[in-house]
Chain A
Amino acid sequence: MLNQSPLKYRELAAKAVQDKQLHRALAMMRDKIGRKAVNLYNQLPTGEGSRQAAKAVRRKVVDNLDVVLETLATNIRARGGHVHLAESGADAVEYCLGVAKRFQVRRVVKGKSMLSEEIHLNDALEAAGIETVETDLGEYIVQLKGEAPSHIIAPAIHYTREQVGELFAEKLGEPYTDDPPTLTAMARKTLREKMLGADMGISGGNTACAETGHVTIVSNEGNIRMATTMPRVHVVLLGIEKIAATLEDHDILLRMLTRAAAGQKISTYVSYVGGPRLDEEPDGPEEFHLVLVDNGRSRILADPDFREVLHCVRCGGCLNVCPVYMAIGGHSYGSPYCGPIGAVFTPLTQGINDCHHLCQGETLCGACKQVCPVDNDLPRMLSLLRYKLANGDARWNVRPQSLSAKLAFGAWSVLMRHRRMYDAMSLVAGFCQKLLPRKNGWISRLPGQLGGWTRGRDFPPLAKKSFARRWARRDTARRDA
C-alpha cells in the first residue's frame, strides 16, 4: 500500500525544497515542454483562439453530461462492449475484480491510468492474488521502487539514470548501466514477456467519443496498445467527465492534449478502441469493458463554481509551469493528481479541510491558467477554496480553519480602512521591532504565529521614517522653497 496522504504536505514539501536533483529534473520538464506549449497551441489553425475552442468543446460535454454519457453507453453496447457506471472507487474496483475472477486472471498488465491510482486498484488486485504490472516505463520504474508517480505524464522524472540503473540491477538482475537506451531495452525485454503472458489489460482513457462509441487512448511507447490488444479482456477506466461528444470535437482536443502534455503534434500511437474484436479479426480482446467512474465528480458538477475543473484533460501541463510544483515535486501533494490541478481537484474529492495545504500552498501566480489547454481558471478556484477554509461552507462541509487567523485578518482589514489607527499602529510597530533579533539588518525571527514567515527567510524591517512622514516633509520643503 502506498502511503500517500495530503496530510503530510508540510513535511514532504519541506524535504523536497532541499532536493536539488528533483529541481533539475523538473526544470527540464519546464524547459522542454512547459515553455513551448503556448507557442504550439498558437500554431494550430485556430491560432490564439485554440484554448478557447478546446474549452468550448469541454464545456459543452460537461454541461450536457447526462446526454453524452447515455449516448456513449448505448453506442459502446451496440458494439458488443460492456459499460459499467461506478458510483465510487470501491464500486469500480469491485467490478474489475469481478471481471478478473470470471476470466481466472493471474496477471494484469496496465496502461498508465491516474484514475486507477485514485481508486487504489493495484492494491486490490494484488490483495486478490493477481500479479499487477505497470507497463509504462516510468510507471514501471516507480512500481519497482514501491513508490507513487510524481508527475502526471512523467511518473519517474524524479529519478536519475544512475538510480534507475541501480534499481534494474537489483530488481531485474541485469548488469549495472546508466545508459537510457540500454535501460529501456532491459525494460522492453522484461515487459514484453509480461505483456504477452497477461490475461487482462487495464488502461485509462484520454477521452472517449460518444457519437461513435469508442475510447481514445494515446501513448508513445506502445505499451497501451500491447496491454489492450494481446490479453483476452480489456478494461478501460474513465472518469465520467472525460468524454468528447463527436469526432469533430476530437480534433481540437487531441491536438491540444498532445501539445500540452508532451510538446508533440501527435503521440506515436492514438488508438480508437470500440468494443471487443469482431469474429473475423484474429486478434484483439474477446471482451471489452468500459468502467465510467463518478467517485465525487457529480458532486463537483453540481457546484457551478467548481464545475469548470471537470474540463481538465489531465495533460499535466500546469505542473510544468507551476513554481510551487517545481519546488516541492509531485509526492508532496499526497495524491495522484499533483500540481495546480491536484490542488483544486484533490480537496474537492477528498475533503477540503483535510487537503487545505494543497490549495493554500499554491501562489496564485496564474501560470497554470495561461498554459492550460482548456483555459481552466485554477487560480480562481484555489482562491475560492481558501475562502471556504476561512469562512466555512455548508455545501462542502468545510469547518472554518482558524479562528485566530480570521480575527487577525479582520483586525488587519479594520486597520487598513482607518488612517489614524494605521498611522498609530505603524509607530508602535516601528518601536516594537527594535526588540526583535536581526541579521544583516533584516528581522530574523518574528514572534508568535508570525514566526512561520521567518522560519525559512528574513523579514525586512519597517523604515525608520515611514513613507507617509517623508512625503509630508517633502510637501513642507516644497512650500518653503
Chain B
Amino acid sequence: MSRIIERVRQALGVRANDGRDTLVFAKSDDFVHCAEAKATERDGWMESIRIEAKALNLRVHECPDLDACGEAIASLARERDPEWGTVKQIMRWSDPLLDGLGLEGRLGAEMAVKSVPGADSFSQSEREEFRREVIASYIGITTADYLLADTASLVLLGGRGRARSVSLVPSIHIAVVPRSRMLASYRQMLSILGAMDLPSNVSIITGPSKTADIEATLVHGAHGPREMHLFLVAS
C-alpha cells in the first residue's frame, strides 16, 4: 500500500499531504446550496419526466392516492405473465408506503405477495431462502428515495428491508414514488447525498435494462428488468 503511495509521491515530486486535502475535497457553495430547491423550480419537472420516460420506454402512471395506485398495480400483475416458469409471485420492499398499497389483500387469493424480511442480521440459510424467493418473483416492487426530473431517474438507497435484487432480478420492476420526492437533477441528488452517511449501495435506475451490442440496435431487457413502471402518487 504505502509503497505505491510513495511511488506516486515521488512521481508528483511531493513529500506529504501539506494541507492539499482541503483544496482537493473543497465543496463549492453553489453545490452545497443546490440541495434545497425552490418551490417555483418544480414547474416543468413533471413534463420533463414524461418526455424522458417516453424515450426510455419507462411507463409512467399518475395516481391520486395509494389506494388507486394499489388497484392499478394489482390489475397490471393480473395482466402480465411470468417470463421464467409459470408461477406468479411478487417481491416487494418492506416499506410503510408499500404497505399502504394493500397488495396482499388485493392479490392474495391469486398469487403470493412477499416482502423483504426486516431483521438485524440473517443466517446463511435465511439469505438463501430470500434469494430463491426473489428469483421466483416475476414482479419486484420498490419505492425510490428520489426521482430526478431532468433524466426520469430513480434513486434507490440500500438498507434494511430494501434488498438490491428486488429492482434487478424480477422481469418487471415497479417503483411507487410520492410526487414530493422529485428533485431537479443529478447534481441536486449528489448534494443531498453529500450531506448524509452514504449507504453501502445506491442504485440510480433510468428506465428498463437495454443493450445495443448487436449492430447498435436498441433492445430492451438485456439482463435487468425488461419492463419498468413508475407509479407517481399525488398524496
If A220-B222, A281-B160 touch, whether A67 touches B190 (CB-CB below 8 Å) is no
The answer, yes or no, to whether A60 is at the interface (CB within 8 Å) is: yes
B27 touches A246 (CB 8 A): yes
B206 touches A268 (CB 8 A): yes
Interface 0/1 of B11-42, CB less than 8 Å to A: 11010010011011101100100000000000
If A66-B14, A180-B215, A283-B131 touch, whether A250 touches B190 (CB-CB below 8 Å) is yes
Among B71-79, B103-111, B195-203, the stretch that binds chain A is B195-203
When A and B form their complex, which 4 residue pairs have the shortest distance between CB atoms, in order from nearest? A222-B224, A221-B222, A302-B11, A138-B213
Residues of B within 8 A of A (CB): 1, 3-5, 7-12, 14, 17, 20-21, 23-25, 27-28, 31, 52, 84, 116-122, 126-127, 130-131, 134-135, 150-151, 153, 158-160, 162-165, 168-169, 186-187, 190-191, 193-194, 198-217, 219, 221-225
Chain B: which residue is nearest A165 at the CB level?
A: B214
Chain A: which residue is nearest B32 at the CB level?
A: A248
Q: Tell me the chain A residues, 236-295 only, with Cβ under 8 Å from chain B.
A: 240, 245-248, 250-251, 254-255, 262, 265-284, 292, 294
If A251-B186, A280-B121, A282-B122 touch, whether A28 touches B216 (CB-CB below 8 Å) is yes
A136 touches B213 (CB 8 A): yes
Residues of A within 8 A of B118 (CB): 280
Residues of A within 8 A of B213 (CB): 136-138, 141, 154-157, 221
| Given A247-B191, A265-B151, A277-B201: 10 more A-B contacts, CB < 8 Å | A73-B1, A137-B222, A154-B216, A187-B222, A188-B223, A222-B168, A247-B193, A248-B27, A266-B206, A301-B8
If A251-B187, A282-B163 touch, whether A66 touches B8 (CB-CB below 8 Å) is yes
CA distance A94 to B14 in the complex (A): 30
Number of interface residues of A (CB under 8 A): 94
Min Cβ gap A253→B in Å is 11
Q: Tell me the chain A residues, 189-238 only, with Cβ under 8 Å from chain B.
A: 191-192, 195-196, 210-214, 220-223, 225-226, 229-230
Min Cβ gap B200→A in Å is 5
B216 touches A29 (CB 8 A): yes
CA distance A155 to B187 in the complex (A): 31
The answer, yes or no, to whether A457 is at the interface (CB within 8 Å) is: no
Cβ 8 A contact of A281, one of B163, B169, B211? B163
Cβ 8 A contact of A294, one of B4, B203, B225? B4
Residues of A within 8 A of B162 (CB): 281
CA distance A284 to B208 in the complex (A): 21
Among A79-87, A311-319, A368-376, the stretch that binds chain B is A79-87
If A66-B9, A85-B1, A268-B205 touch, whether A284 touches B222 (CB-CB below 8 Å) is no
B200 touches A281 (CB 8 A): yes
Residues of B within 8 A of A183 (CB): 214
The answer, yes or no, to whether A63 is at the interface (CB within 8 Å) is: yes
A222 touches B225 (CB 8 A): yes
CA distance A284 to B168 in the complex (A): 12
B12 touches A156 (CB 8 A): no
CA distance A211 to B135 in the complex (A): 35
The answer, yes or no, to whether A160 is at the interface (CB within 8 Å) is: yes
Cβ 8 A contact of A267, one of B3, B31, B206, B216? B206
The answer, yes or no, to whether A181 is at the interface (CB within 8 Å) is: yes
Cβ 8 A contact of A248, one of B31, B121, B160, B165? B31
A268 touches B216 (CB 8 A): no
Interface 0/1 of A311-348, CB less than 8 Å to B: 00000000000000000000000000000000000000
Cβ 8 A contact of B224, one of A65, A184, A212, A269? A269
B121 touches A279 (CB 8 A): yes
The answer, yes or no, to whether A70 is at the interface (CB within 8 Å) is: yes
Residues of A within 8 A of B4 (CB): 69, 85, 87, 240, 292, 294, 298
